[in-house]
Amino acid sequence: MKEATKWIVRIRADLRCEYCGVHQRQCRYTHHIEHVEAIASGGSPDNPANLALACHRCNLAKGARKMALDPLNDVPMLLFHPRLHTWETHFRVDASGYIEGLTPTGRATVSALKMNASVRLMERGRVSL
């Protein structure tokens, strides 16, 4: 992937994970340029429309998955797609950094990506979203 493409993704995301919102400066590890749709599933390897900035925790938890169960009703749901969905429609965050899923997609994503694990709350609590 070209360095210019990587910078397009980083700048578009304002150096924040496009899933959980943690800023790069609050993480020990460098945020990843993530393929929203995995290359193995037909996603483009270098088109910015298929790329998102993700903290290492969200990227590793998501992997190649497109779906997860909504914990409220055990129905399979598509995960949040940063290029197609609006963050504020699917999530809200409180002062402590806790992310609440507002929709089935939001709840499934929060659960699958383990967005409210204690270490993640600590990271997000250091900087406001």
Instruction: Give residue 96's pLDDT.
Output: 83
pLDDT of 11-41, one tens digit each? 999 999 999 999 999 888 999 999 999 998 8
Largest CA distance in the chain: 42
Burial classification of residue 94, based on how many CB atoms lie within 10 Å of its CB (0-12 exposed, 13-18 middle, 19 or more buried): exposed
CB 38 within 8 A of CB 90: no
For the chain, the first-to-last Cα distance in angstroms comes to 29
Instruction: Give residue 128's pLDDT.
Output: 46
Domain boundaries, the chain: 3-125
Instruction: Give residue 95's pLDDT.
Output: 85
Instruction: Give residue 129's pLDDT.
Output: 44
pLDDT of 44-57, one tens digit each? 999 999 999 999 99
34: amino acid identity, one letter: E
Instruction: Give residue 90's pLDDT.
Output: 98
Instruction: Give residue 123's pLDDT.
Output: 82
| C-alpha angle 122-123-128 in degrees, rounded to nearest 5 | 100
Neighbours of 45 (CB within 10 A): 11
Instruction: Give residue 126's pLDDT.
Output: 60
| C-alpha angle 115-116-118 in degrees, rounded to nearest 5 | 125
pLDDT of 68-127, one tens digit each? 999 999 999 999 999 999 999 999 999 888 999 999 999 999 999 999 998 888 887 764
